[in-house]
Structure 1
Amino acid sequence: MSKSGMGVALVTGASSGIGEATADLLAKAGYRVFGTSRRPASSANERFEMLTLDVTLDASVGALVEKVIQRVGRIDVLVNNAGFGVAPAGAEESSIEQAQAIFDTNFMGMVRMTRAVVPYMRQQGSGRIINIGSVLGFLPMPYMALYSATKHAVAGYSEALDHELRTMGIRVSVVEPAYINTSFDANLIKPDAPLDVYGAIRSGVERRVKEVLTGADGPDVVAKMVTSAAMSRHPKMRYAPGLARRMRFLRRFAPASVLDAGVRKDLRL
Protein backbone atom coordinates (compact mmCIF):
# COMPACT_ATOMS: atom_id res chain seq x y z
CA MET A 1 0.00 0.00 0.00
CA SER A 2 0.99 3.63 -0.37
CA LYS A 3 1.64 5.98 2.52
CA SER A 4 -2.04 6.96 2.34
CA GLY A 5 -2.94 3.71 4.11
CA MET A 6 -5.86 2.64 1.90
CA GLY A 7 -3.88 2.52 -1.32
CA VAL A 8 -3.88 4.36 -4.63
CA ALA A 9 -7.00 5.09 -6.68
CA LEU A 10 -7.19 6.28 -10.28
CA VAL A 11 -10.50 7.85 -11.41
CA THR A 12 -11.10 8.79 -15.04
CA GLY A 13 -13.41 11.65 -15.98
CA ALA A 14 -12.94 13.29 -12.58
CA SER A 15 -13.32 16.96 -13.51
CA SER A 16 -17.02 17.05 -12.58
CA GLY A 17 -20.10 15.02 -11.72
CA ILE A 18 -19.81 11.38 -10.69
CA GLY A 19 -16.06 11.26 -11.30
CA GLU A 20 -15.31 14.29 -9.15
CA ALA A 21 -17.62 13.12 -6.35
CA THR A 22 -16.04 9.66 -6.43
CA ALA A 23 -12.46 10.96 -6.38
CA ASP A 24 -13.33 13.24 -3.48
CA LEU A 25 -14.98 10.50 -1.41
CA LEU A 26 -12.18 8.00 -2.05
CA ALA A 27 -9.70 10.63 -0.90
CA LYS A 28 -11.74 11.24 2.25
CA ALA A 29 -11.70 7.47 2.85
CA GLY A 30 -7.90 7.53 2.89
CA TYR A 31 -6.87 6.72 -0.68
CA ARG A 32 -4.18 8.59 -2.57
CA VAL A 33 -6.32 9.66 -5.52
CA PHE A 34 -5.40 10.70 -9.04
CA GLY A 35 -8.24 12.09 -11.14
CA THR A 36 -8.07 12.51 -14.89
CA SER A 37 -9.60 14.68 -17.59
CA ARG A 38 -8.73 15.56 -21.16
CA ARG A 39 -8.26 19.18 -20.09
CA PRO A 40 -7.71 19.17 -16.32
CA ALA A 41 -8.12 22.60 -14.81
CA SER A 42 -6.44 23.51 -11.57
CA SER A 43 -8.98 21.92 -9.24
CA ALA A 44 -10.21 23.73 -6.17
CA ASN A 45 -10.40 20.32 -4.55
CA GLU A 46 -7.05 19.78 -2.86
CA ARG A 47 -7.85 16.24 -1.74
CA PHE A 48 -6.82 14.70 -5.07
CA GLU A 49 -4.53 15.51 -7.98
CA MET A 50 -5.74 15.96 -11.55
CA LEU A 51 -3.77 14.59 -14.50
CA THR A 52 -4.24 14.85 -18.27
CA LEU A 53 -5.70 11.81 -20.05
CA ASP A 54 -7.51 11.07 -23.30
CA VAL A 55 -8.95 7.56 -23.00
CA THR A 56 -9.34 7.34 -26.79
CA LEU A 57 -5.57 7.40 -27.33
CA ASP A 58 -3.39 4.39 -26.55
CA ALA A 59 -0.32 6.57 -26.02
CA SER A 60 -2.12 8.87 -23.57
CA VAL A 61 -3.40 5.92 -21.53
CA GLY A 62 0.00 4.25 -21.43
CA ALA A 63 1.78 7.44 -20.43
CA LEU A 64 -0.72 8.24 -17.68
CA VAL A 65 -0.57 4.80 -16.07
CA GLU A 66 3.22 4.75 -16.29
CA LYS A 67 3.37 8.19 -14.66
CA VAL A 68 1.23 7.06 -11.72
CA ILE A 69 3.30 3.88 -11.28
CA GLN A 70 6.54 5.89 -11.34
CA ARG A 71 5.13 8.31 -8.79
CA VAL A 72 3.60 5.89 -6.26
CA GLY A 73 4.52 2.38 -7.37
CA ARG A 74 1.04 0.83 -7.56
CA ILE A 75 -2.64 1.23 -8.45
CA ASP A 76 -5.12 -0.41 -6.10
CA VAL A 77 -8.41 0.94 -7.49
CA LEU A 78 -9.30 1.90 -11.04
CA VAL A 79 -12.62 3.68 -11.57
CA ASN A 80 -13.55 3.86 -15.26
CA ASN A 81 -15.96 6.78 -15.40
CA ALA A 82 -14.96 8.79 -18.49
CA GLY A 83 -17.71 8.91 -21.10
CA PHE A 84 -20.28 10.98 -22.94
CA GLY A 85 -23.79 10.61 -24.31
CA VAL A 86 -25.82 11.69 -27.32
CA ALA A 87 -28.93 13.77 -26.63
CA PRO A 88 -32.21 11.85 -27.07
CA ALA A 89 -32.59 11.07 -30.76
CA GLY A 90 -33.52 8.32 -33.15
CA ALA A 91 -30.81 5.73 -33.64
CA GLU A 92 -30.53 6.58 -37.34
CA GLU A 93 -29.89 10.25 -36.51
CA SER A 94 -26.28 9.50 -35.56
CA SER A 95 -23.74 8.81 -38.28
CA ILE A 96 -21.46 5.78 -38.18
CA GLU A 97 -18.65 8.16 -37.19
CA GLN A 98 -20.64 9.39 -34.19
CA ALA A 99 -21.50 5.82 -33.19
CA GLN A 100 -17.83 4.88 -33.38
CA ALA A 101 -16.86 7.93 -31.31
CA ILE A 102 -19.18 7.10 -28.42
CA PHE A 103 -18.01 3.48 -28.36
CA ASP A 104 -14.39 4.59 -28.55
CA THR A 105 -14.79 6.65 -25.37
CA ASN A 106 -17.42 4.81 -23.33
CA PHE A 107 -16.31 1.25 -24.07
CA MET A 108 -12.89 1.14 -25.69
CA GLY A 109 -11.64 3.81 -23.27
CA MET A 110 -12.51 1.45 -20.42
CA VAL A 111 -10.80 -1.43 -22.23
CA ARG A 112 -7.64 0.63 -22.79
CA MET A 113 -7.46 1.63 -19.13
CA THR A 114 -8.09 -1.92 -17.97
CA ARG A 115 -5.40 -3.38 -20.23
CA ALA A 116 -2.91 -0.79 -18.99
CA VAL A 117 -3.63 -1.29 -15.27
CA VAL A 118 -4.26 -5.04 -14.92
CA PRO A 119 -0.61 -6.11 -15.38
CA TYR A 120 0.36 -4.05 -12.32
CA MET A 121 -2.57 -5.39 -10.30
CA ARG A 122 -1.60 -8.95 -11.23
CA GLN A 123 1.93 -8.25 -10.07
CA GLN A 124 0.56 -6.92 -6.77
CA GLY A 125 -1.82 -9.84 -6.42
CA SER A 126 -4.69 -7.46 -5.67
CA GLY A 127 -6.83 -4.70 -7.11
CA ARG A 128 -10.32 -3.38 -7.76
CA ILE A 129 -11.71 -2.25 -11.10
CA ILE A 130 -15.02 -0.41 -10.86
CA ASN A 131 -16.75 0.53 -14.09
CA ILE A 132 -19.49 3.15 -14.21
CA GLY A 133 -22.32 1.70 -16.23
CA SER A 134 -25.95 2.78 -16.33
CA VAL A 135 -29.45 1.48 -15.77
CA LEU A 136 -29.55 1.65 -19.57
CA GLY A 137 -27.04 -1.21 -19.50
CA PHE A 138 -29.86 -3.57 -18.51
CA LEU A 139 -32.97 -1.57 -19.41
CA PRO A 140 -32.51 0.13 -22.82
CA MET A 141 -34.16 3.51 -23.32
CA PRO A 142 -35.84 4.46 -26.60
CA TYR A 143 -34.06 7.32 -28.35
CA MET A 144 -30.86 6.56 -26.43
CA ALA A 145 -29.90 3.49 -28.45
CA LEU A 146 -26.18 4.15 -28.84
CA TYR A 147 -25.60 5.11 -25.21
CA SER A 148 -27.63 2.07 -24.10
CA ALA A 149 -25.51 -0.14 -26.35
CA THR A 150 -22.23 1.15 -24.88
CA LYS A 151 -23.47 0.51 -21.34
CA HIS A 152 -24.61 -3.01 -22.24
CA ALA A 153 -21.08 -3.55 -23.51
CA VAL A 154 -19.62 -2.18 -20.27
CA ALA A 155 -21.77 -4.58 -18.22
CA GLY A 156 -20.92 -7.64 -20.30
CA TYR A 157 -17.20 -6.89 -20.31
CA SER A 158 -17.18 -6.25 -16.55
CA GLU A 159 -18.93 -9.51 -15.68
CA ALA A 160 -16.67 -11.60 -17.91
CA LEU A 161 -13.55 -9.84 -16.62
CA ASP A 162 -14.50 -10.42 -13.00
CA HIS A 163 -14.61 -14.17 -13.64
CA GLU A 164 -11.20 -14.02 -15.31
CA LEU A 165 -9.36 -11.99 -12.68
CA ARG A 166 -10.81 -12.97 -9.29
CA THR A 167 -8.40 -15.90 -8.91
CA MET A 168 -5.57 -13.37 -9.21
CA GLY A 169 -6.84 -11.24 -6.32
CA ILE A 170 -8.54 -8.68 -8.59
CA ARG A 171 -12.28 -8.01 -8.48
CA VAL A 172 -14.36 -6.17 -11.05
CA SER A 173 -17.67 -4.41 -10.37
CA VAL A 174 -20.06 -2.33 -12.45
CA VAL A 175 -22.15 0.44 -10.86
CA GLU A 176 -25.34 1.11 -12.81
CA PRO A 177 -27.17 4.28 -11.69
CA ALA A 178 -30.43 5.62 -13.11
CA TYR A 179 -31.00 9.36 -13.58
CA ILE A 180 -28.29 11.37 -11.80
CA ASN A 181 -28.45 15.16 -11.68
CA THR A 182 -25.04 16.26 -13.00
CA SER A 183 -23.62 18.42 -15.76
CA PHE A 184 -23.24 15.22 -17.85
CA ASP A 185 -26.80 15.56 -19.10
CA ALA A 186 -26.34 19.25 -19.81
CA ASN A 187 -23.38 18.42 -22.06
CA LEU A 188 -24.92 15.71 -24.22
CA ILE A 189 -23.82 16.09 -27.83
CA LYS A 190 -26.44 16.56 -30.53
CA PRO A 191 -27.05 13.88 -33.16
CA ASP A 192 -25.06 14.71 -36.27
CA ALA A 193 -27.57 13.39 -38.82
CA PRO A 194 -30.94 14.78 -37.60
CA LEU A 195 -34.11 13.92 -39.50
CA ASP A 196 -37.33 15.96 -39.52
CA VAL A 197 -39.42 12.84 -38.96
CA TYR A 198 -38.00 12.56 -35.42
CA GLY A 199 -38.15 16.27 -34.56
CA ALA A 200 -41.32 16.30 -32.43
CA ILE A 201 -40.64 13.08 -30.54
CA ARG A 202 -37.02 14.09 -29.95
CA SER A 203 -38.13 17.34 -28.35
CA GLY A 204 -40.71 15.54 -26.23
CA VAL A 205 -38.25 12.99 -24.86
CA GLU A 206 -35.73 15.76 -24.13
CA ARG A 207 -38.35 17.64 -22.10
CA ARG A 208 -39.31 14.50 -20.18
CA VAL A 209 -35.68 13.69 -19.35
CA LYS A 210 -35.12 17.23 -18.05
CA GLU A 211 -38.24 16.92 -15.86
CA VAL A 212 -37.02 13.69 -14.29
CA LEU A 213 -33.50 15.04 -13.73
CA THR A 214 -34.86 17.97 -11.71
CA GLY A 215 -35.67 15.67 -8.81
CA ALA A 216 -32.96 13.07 -9.39
CA ASP A 217 -30.24 12.05 -6.94
CA GLY A 218 -26.92 13.87 -7.05
CA PRO A 219 -23.59 12.18 -7.87
CA ASP A 220 -22.82 11.46 -4.21
CA VAL A 221 -25.16 8.44 -4.25
CA VAL A 222 -22.96 6.85 -6.92
CA ALA A 223 -19.72 7.90 -5.23
CA LYS A 224 -20.81 6.19 -2.01
CA MET A 225 -21.53 2.96 -3.86
CA VAL A 226 -18.19 3.07 -5.71
CA THR A 227 -16.34 3.64 -2.44
CA SER A 228 -18.23 0.77 -0.84
CA ALA A 229 -17.25 -1.53 -3.72
CA ALA A 230 -13.64 -0.42 -3.46
CA MET A 231 -13.42 -1.10 0.27
CA SER A 232 -15.62 -4.19 0.64
CA ARG A 233 -13.90 -7.47 1.45
CA HIS A 234 -16.48 -9.24 -0.70
CA PRO A 235 -17.57 -6.80 -3.43
CA LYS A 236 -20.62 -7.51 -5.55
CA MET A 237 -20.34 -7.79 -9.29
CA ARG A 238 -23.21 -5.35 -9.94
CA TYR A 239 -24.42 -2.37 -7.92
CA ALA A 240 -27.58 -0.35 -8.61
CA PRO A 241 -27.97 2.78 -6.47
CA GLY A 242 -31.32 4.36 -5.62
CA LEU A 243 -33.99 4.20 -8.30
CA ALA A 244 -31.88 1.83 -10.40
CA ARG A 245 -32.32 -0.92 -7.78
CA ARG A 246 -36.09 -0.86 -8.26
CA MET A 247 -35.72 -0.75 -12.03
CA ARG A 248 -33.45 -3.79 -11.97
CA PHE A 249 -36.03 -5.65 -9.88
CA LEU A 250 -38.73 -4.80 -12.44
CA ARG A 251 -36.48 -5.83 -15.32
CA ARG A 252 -35.95 -9.19 -13.68
CA PHE A 253 -39.45 -10.04 -12.49
CA ALA A 254 -42.07 -7.92 -14.31
CA PRO A 255 -43.68 -9.34 -17.47
CA ALA A 256 -42.03 -7.93 -20.58
CA SER A 257 -45.29 -6.44 -21.81
CA VAL A 258 -45.85 -4.58 -18.53
CA LEU A 259 -42.31 -3.23 -18.46
CA ASP A 260 -42.49 -2.20 -22.10
CA ALA A 261 -45.74 -0.32 -21.49
CA GLY A 262 -44.24 1.36 -18.42
CA VAL A 263 -41.21 2.61 -20.34
CA ARG A 264 -43.37 4.08 -23.11
CA LYS A 265 -45.75 5.67 -20.64
CA ASP A 266 -42.94 7.23 -18.65
CA LEU A 267 -41.44 8.79 -21.78
CA ARG A 268 -44.91 9.73 -23.05
CA LEU A 269 -44.41 7.94 -26.36
Structure 2
Amino acid sequence: MADVANRDAVEKLPEEIIAAHGCIDGIINNAGILQQFQTVNDLDYDHIQKVMDINFYGTLYMCKSFLPYLLIRPEAHITNVSSMGGFLPVPLQSIYSASKAAVKMFTEGLHLELRDTNVGVTLVFPGAVDTNLVQNAKIEFEGADNHSYKMLSPNEAAALIIKGMENNKYRVLAGNDAKIMDFLYRLHPKKATDLILKKIKTPGKKE
Protein backbone atom coordinates (compact mmCIF):
# COMPACT_ATOMS: atom_id res chain seq x y z
CA MET A 1 0.00 0.00 0.00
CA ALA A 2 1.06 3.57 -0.59
CA ASP A 3 -0.21 7.10 -0.19
CA VAL A 4 -0.98 8.14 -3.77
CA ALA A 5 -0.27 11.76 -2.88
CA ASN A 6 3.31 10.80 -1.99
CA ARG A 7 5.27 10.70 -5.25
CA ASP A 8 8.28 8.88 -3.78
CA ALA A 9 6.05 6.14 -2.37
CA VAL A 10 4.17 5.74 -5.65
CA GLU A 11 7.36 5.54 -7.69
CA LYS A 12 8.46 2.52 -5.63
CA LEU A 13 5.23 0.60 -6.25
CA PRO A 14 5.90 -0.88 -9.71
CA GLU A 15 9.06 -2.72 -8.67
CA GLU A 16 7.41 -3.89 -5.44
CA ILE A 17 4.45 -5.28 -7.39
CA ILE A 18 6.64 -6.93 -10.00
CA ALA A 19 8.71 -8.56 -7.24
CA ALA A 20 5.52 -10.00 -5.74
CA HIS A 21 3.51 -10.83 -8.87
CA GLY A 22 5.92 -10.90 -11.82
CA CYS A 23 4.33 -8.26 -14.06
CA ILE A 24 1.83 -5.42 -14.30
CA ASP A 25 -0.83 -5.38 -17.01
CA GLY A 26 -3.09 -2.57 -15.87
CA ILE A 27 -3.94 0.03 -13.28
CA ILE A 28 -7.21 1.55 -12.09
CA ASN A 29 -6.83 4.96 -10.47
CA ASN A 30 -9.83 5.24 -8.19
CA ALA A 31 -8.50 7.03 -5.09
CA GLY A 32 -10.27 10.27 -4.34
CA ILE A 33 -11.72 12.49 -1.63
CA LEU A 34 -14.40 15.14 -1.48
CA GLN A 35 -13.59 18.60 -0.22
CA GLN A 36 -15.17 20.09 2.88
CA PHE A 37 -18.65 21.35 2.04
CA GLN A 38 -17.66 25.00 1.91
CA THR A 39 -17.38 27.79 -0.61
CA VAL A 40 -14.00 28.51 -2.18
CA ASN A 41 -13.93 31.71 -0.14
CA ASP A 42 -14.09 29.70 3.09
CA LEU A 43 -11.65 26.90 2.19
CA ASP A 44 -8.06 27.14 3.37
CA TYR A 45 -5.19 26.43 1.00
CA ASP A 46 -3.98 23.37 2.89
CA HIS A 47 -7.30 21.63 2.33
CA ILE A 48 -7.41 22.70 -1.32
CA GLN A 49 -3.89 21.31 -1.80
CA LYS A 50 -4.86 18.01 -0.15
CA VAL A 51 -7.80 17.51 -2.52
CA MET A 52 -5.68 18.27 -5.58
CA ASP A 53 -2.78 16.12 -4.33
CA ILE A 54 -4.94 13.04 -3.94
CA ASN A 55 -7.45 13.44 -6.76
CA PHE A 56 -5.27 14.81 -9.54
CA TYR A 57 -1.61 14.44 -8.61
CA GLY A 58 -2.21 10.94 -7.24
CA THR A 59 -3.58 9.92 -10.63
CA LEU A 60 -0.68 11.63 -12.39
CA TYR A 61 1.93 9.97 -10.17
CA MET A 62 0.40 6.54 -10.75
CA CYS A 63 0.29 6.96 -14.52
CA LYS A 64 3.82 8.35 -14.74
CA SER A 65 5.24 5.64 -12.47
CA PHE A 66 3.53 2.66 -14.10
CA LEU A 67 3.48 3.70 -17.74
CA PRO A 68 7.06 2.58 -18.58
CA TYR A 69 6.21 -0.91 -17.31
CA LEU A 70 2.88 -1.03 -19.13
CA LEU A 71 4.44 -0.02 -22.43
CA ILE A 72 6.62 -3.15 -22.51
CA ARG A 73 3.70 -5.53 -21.97
CA PRO A 74 1.99 -7.20 -24.97
CA GLU A 75 -1.26 -5.55 -23.88
CA ALA A 76 -1.97 -3.19 -21.00
CA HIS A 77 -4.53 -0.71 -19.77
CA ILE A 78 -4.90 2.48 -17.73
CA THR A 79 -8.27 3.39 -16.25
CA ASN A 80 -8.74 6.73 -14.53
CA VAL A 81 -11.88 7.46 -12.52
CA SER A 82 -13.18 11.00 -12.80
CA SER A 83 -16.68 11.90 -11.60
CA MET A 84 -19.90 13.52 -12.70
CA GLY A 85 -18.26 16.44 -10.93
CA GLY A 86 -15.61 16.34 -13.64
CA PHE A 87 -18.05 17.70 -16.21
CA LEU A 88 -20.80 19.14 -14.00
CA PRO A 89 -20.33 21.37 -10.94
CA VAL A 90 -21.49 19.89 -7.63
CA PRO A 91 -22.84 22.15 -4.86
CA LEU A 92 -20.09 23.32 -2.48
CA GLN A 93 -17.55 21.08 -4.25
CA SER A 94 -15.80 23.54 -6.59
CA ILE A 95 -12.28 22.30 -5.82
CA TYR A 96 -13.32 18.64 -5.98
CA SER A 97 -14.94 19.30 -9.36
CA ALA A 98 -11.82 21.10 -10.58
CA SER A 99 -9.65 18.15 -9.53
CA LYS A 100 -11.89 15.67 -11.34
CA ALA A 101 -12.08 17.88 -14.42
CA ALA A 102 -8.27 17.84 -14.42
CA VAL A 103 -8.39 14.02 -14.33
CA LYS A 104 -10.79 14.10 -17.29
CA MET A 105 -8.59 16.28 -19.49
CA PHE A 106 -5.39 14.52 -18.44
CA THR A 107 -6.88 11.13 -19.31
CA GLU A 108 -8.21 12.28 -22.67
CA GLY A 109 -4.78 13.70 -23.49
CA LEU A 110 -3.14 10.46 -22.39
CA HIS A 111 -5.47 8.54 -24.69
CA LEU A 112 -4.25 10.61 -27.63
CA GLU A 113 -0.62 10.05 -26.73
CA LEU A 114 -1.04 6.28 -26.38
CA ARG A 115 -3.43 5.58 -29.24
CA ASP A 116 -0.74 3.88 -31.36
CA THR A 117 0.67 1.83 -28.49
CA ASN A 118 -0.31 -1.37 -26.72
CA VAL A 119 -1.72 0.60 -23.77
CA GLY A 120 -5.44 1.28 -23.78
CA VAL A 121 -6.90 4.19 -21.81
CA THR A 122 -10.40 4.39 -20.33
CA LEU A 123 -12.01 7.34 -18.58
CA VAL A 124 -14.76 6.59 -16.05
CA PHE A 125 -17.56 8.91 -14.93
CA PRO A 126 -19.36 7.17 -12.08
CA GLY A 127 -22.68 8.44 -10.89
CA ALA A 128 -23.73 7.96 -7.29
CA VAL A 129 -22.14 4.78 -5.92
CA ASP A 130 -23.04 3.52 -2.45
CA THR A 131 -19.59 3.85 -0.92
CA ASN A 132 -18.13 5.34 2.25
CA LEU A 133 -17.24 8.46 0.25
CA VAL A 134 -20.92 9.27 -0.20
CA GLN A 135 -22.06 7.93 3.18
CA ASN A 136 -19.44 9.80 5.21
CA ALA A 137 -20.20 13.02 3.31
CA LYS A 138 -23.91 12.66 4.25
CA ILE A 139 -24.97 13.51 0.71
CA GLU A 140 -28.69 13.03 0.17
CA PHE A 141 -30.38 12.52 -3.18
CA GLU A 142 -33.93 13.67 -3.82
CA GLY A 143 -36.15 10.63 -4.17
CA ALA A 144 -33.77 8.22 -2.44
CA ASP A 145 -36.27 7.55 0.34
CA ASN A 146 -39.01 6.40 -2.04
CA HIS A 147 -36.75 4.31 -4.25
CA SER A 148 -37.09 6.61 -7.26
CA TYR A 149 -33.36 7.12 -6.96
CA LYS A 150 -31.07 4.09 -6.80
CA MET A 151 -27.35 4.29 -6.25
CA LEU A 152 -25.07 1.72 -7.84
CA SER A 153 -23.53 -0.83 -5.51
CA PRO A 154 -19.71 -0.95 -5.50
CA ASN A 155 -19.86 -4.37 -7.19
CA GLU A 156 -22.10 -3.05 -9.97
CA ALA A 157 -19.83 -0.08 -10.56
CA ALA A 158 -16.73 -2.31 -10.58
CA ALA A 159 -18.33 -4.67 -13.11
CA LEU A 160 -19.12 -1.77 -15.45
CA ILE A 161 -15.55 -0.47 -15.17
CA ILE A 162 -13.98 -3.89 -15.84
CA LYS A 163 -16.27 -4.44 -18.82
CA GLY A 164 -15.24 -1.05 -20.19
CA MET A 165 -11.57 -1.98 -19.85
CA GLU A 166 -12.10 -5.34 -21.54
CA ASN A 167 -13.81 -3.61 -24.46
CA ASN A 168 -11.21 -0.84 -24.53
CA LYS A 169 -13.92 1.79 -24.14
CA TYR A 170 -12.94 5.44 -24.40
CA ARG A 171 -15.50 6.49 -21.77
CA VAL A 172 -17.60 4.62 -19.24
CA LEU A 173 -20.64 6.34 -17.78
CA ALA A 174 -21.38 4.18 -14.75
CA GLY A 175 -25.00 4.56 -13.73
CA ASN A 176 -28.13 6.02 -15.28
CA ASP A 177 -27.64 9.29 -13.41
CA ALA A 178 -24.23 9.76 -15.02
CA LYS A 179 -25.68 9.03 -18.48
CA ILE A 180 -28.62 11.39 -18.00
CA MET A 181 -26.56 14.26 -16.58
CA ASP A 182 -23.91 13.87 -19.28
CA PHE A 183 -26.63 14.20 -21.93
CA LEU A 184 -28.34 17.13 -20.20
CA TYR A 185 -25.09 18.99 -19.63
CA ARG A 186 -24.18 18.72 -23.30
CA LEU A 187 -27.67 19.89 -24.27
CA HIS A 188 -28.03 22.78 -21.80
CA PRO A 189 -25.22 23.31 -19.24
CA LYS A 190 -27.05 25.94 -17.17
CA LYS A 191 -30.22 23.85 -16.77
CA ALA A 192 -28.17 20.78 -15.89
CA THR A 193 -26.36 22.79 -13.21
CA ASP A 194 -29.67 24.02 -11.78
CA LEU A 195 -31.00 20.45 -11.74
CA ILE A 196 -28.02 19.02 -9.87
CA LEU A 197 -28.40 21.80 -7.28
CA LYS A 198 -32.02 20.77 -6.79
CA LYS A 199 -31.36 17.02 -6.68
CA ILE A 200 -28.40 16.94 -4.29
CA LYS A 201 -28.75 17.98 -0.67
CA THR A 202 -25.43 18.56 1.02
CA PRO A 203 -24.30 19.49 4.55
CA GLY A 204 -24.45 23.22 4.96
CA LYS A 205 -26.79 23.73 2.00
CA LYS A 206 -29.65 26.03 2.84
CA GLU A 207 -33.10 24.84 1.84
Shorter-chain TM-score: which interval? 0.7 to 0.9
Contact 1:135/1:178 (CA < 8 Å) preserved in 2? yes
Q: Give the equivalent residue in structure 1 for 2:140.
A: 210
TM-score (norm 2): 0.86
Taking a change above 3 Å as real, the CA distance of residues 263 and 65 of structure 1, as seen in their structure-2 partners, is same
Which ranges of 4 or more aligned residues in structure 1 deviate by more than 6 Å?
none
> Residue 104 in 1 paired to residue 34 in 2?
no
- Structure 1 residue aligned with 2:21: 72
The amino acid across from 2:180 in the alignment is R
Instruction: Tell me by how many angstroms 1:168 deviates.
Output: 1.4
Residues 1:112 and 1:261: Cα distance change in structure 2 (over 3 Å): closer
Structure 2 unaligned residues grouped into runs of 5+: 202-206
Amino acid at match of 1:231: E
Report Cα offsets for 1:121-159 as digits up to 9, x if no partner: 112243110011111111111211111111100100000
Counterpart-to-counterpart distance in 2, 1:61 and 1:139: 30
Distance change >3 Å, CA 91–CA 125, structure 1 → 2: same
Change in 2 beyond 3 A, CA 1:169/1:218: same
Note the C-alpha offset of 1:174: 1.2
Among 67, 73, 78, the alignment partner of 1:129 is 78
The number of residues matched between the two structures is: 196
Q: 1:71 and 1:142, CA in 2 relative to 1: closer, same or farther beyond 3 A?
A: same
Q: Which of the numbers 215, 219, 226 marks the counterpart of 2:161?
A: 226
Larger radius of gyration: 1
Distance 1:260 1:185, change over 3 A: closer
1:262 and 2:195 are equivalent in the alignment: yes
Following the alignment from structure 2 to structure 1, what is the Cα–Cα distance between the partners of residues 131 and 16? 30
Matched residues, percent identical? 29
Distance 1:171 1:182 in 2: 27
Q: What residue number does 1:116 align with?
A: 65
TM-superposition CA deviations, 1:35-84 (whole Å, max 9, x none): xxxxxxxxxxxxxxxxx211111221122221111223321110001121
SS state of the match for residue 105, structure 2? helix
- Is residue 2:88 matched to residue 1:171? no
Residue 89 (structure 1) aligned with residue 38 (structure 2): yes
State the superposition RMSD in angstroms: 1.9
TM-score between the two structures when normalised by the length of structure 1:
0.67
